Amino acid sequence: MAEQQKDIKPAPEAVAKKKKKRRNLVWKMLLLLILAAVLLIVILVVKFVRFSQKKVNDLTQINYTVAQISQIVDNIRQVYMIHGTDTVLNNEFLLKSGAVPKLLVRGNRIVNPYGGDIIIKPSVPIVNKEADLSSPTFKMSYQGLDREVCINLALLNWGDLSKGLQAVAIGFIDPAGKDVAMETIDNPPPPDEPEEYLDASGQLRRRPVLPKYHMNVAKPKDKFVPTPFSYEKALAGCRCEGRPNCTFALQYMIYGVDAPKKVDDPLTAAQRSLQK
């Protein structure tokens, strides 16, 4: 009986059924693989489209910001020409005088394209002793920026002294609420400390020399930090990872100190750098 059972072979119908099942399983697996590949391609395409749209939107926002700053700077100069006093160089007066584009006004705030505030204040006057000329200056800060926006603005060429530009600064709002870019843009750096000193025991010690410049402030043709910022310095200065807390500030003259006349449009260089 055992030998007879060994000789029994599966029916042809059963063999065909098994083969059909295997083929169906293989086709199902292939179909799943194809569907997975198609889904992956769709996801990648959607991500690429979103990335491209973000880049276009970012460039549009930066272009708008450049044009906006140009208009504000020109309006501030015109208002100053009429009133001739540093009291015009602040948000309250500029809002009352209509110097701020209406699209940027939210109640008593001036709002930038990224949702943060624009703060405008008088700054340290510039004096040209040789020509016996001086010019009032003002500083303007864009607050509430993402780190990427801060870096992109810092990398732009905002012009030079002939355009009235004095300095560009980058920073963040510190825990005490201080705008680092706004505070340091027109403040001189701390003086150098003596290189050597005597400690309590009377032993001579060496003290490291502090730099004569702020790392987060760039100036046209400056020896240490010239405009525009290098990518490394922009990355180091825009320290607001995880939240839109970065700030970007500019300092401009009202008049040119090389001649007693109004300076040229300040942002043609920035607009050219965007077109590259």
Q: Where are the domains of the chain?
A: 43-275
Instruction: Specify the pLDDT at position 232.
Output: 94
Burial (0-12, 13-18, 19+ Cβ within 10 Å), 61: middle
| Distant-in-sequence, close-in-space partners of 262: CB < 8 Å, separation ≥ 6 | 77, 81, 254, 255, 256
* Cα separation, 231 vs 69, whole angstroms: 22
> In this structure, which CATH number among 3.40.50.800, 2.60.40.10, 3.30.1690.10, 3.40.50.2300 belongs to the domain 43-275?
3.30.1690.10
Q: Which two tokens stand for residue 73?
A: 């700077």
How much is the pLDDT for 53? Answer: 58
**Per residue in 162-197, pLDDT tens?**
778 999 999 999 889 999 999 999 987 766 655 676
8-state DSSP, 261:
S
Contacts of 243 (CB under 8 A, 6+ apart): none
Q: State the pLDDT at residue 30.
A: 83
Which residues, 6 or more positions from 273, have their beta carbon under 8 angstroms from its beta carbon?
A: 156, 157, 228
pLDDT in tens, 222-274: 888 999 999 999 999 998 877 889 999 999 988 765 544 444 444 555 555 55
| Average pLDDT value over all residues in the chain | 80
With bands split at pLDDT 50, 70 and 90, how would you rate the model's confidence at 215? confident
Q: Long-range contacts of range 66-71, CB-CB < 8 Å, 24 or more positions apart? A: 66/156, 66/267, 66/270, 66/271, 66/274, 67/267, 67/271, 68/101, 68/104, 68/112, 68/113, 69/140, 69/250, 69/266, 69/267, 70/265, 70/266, 70/267, 70/271, 71/101
**Does the pLDDT at position 58 exceed 80?**
no
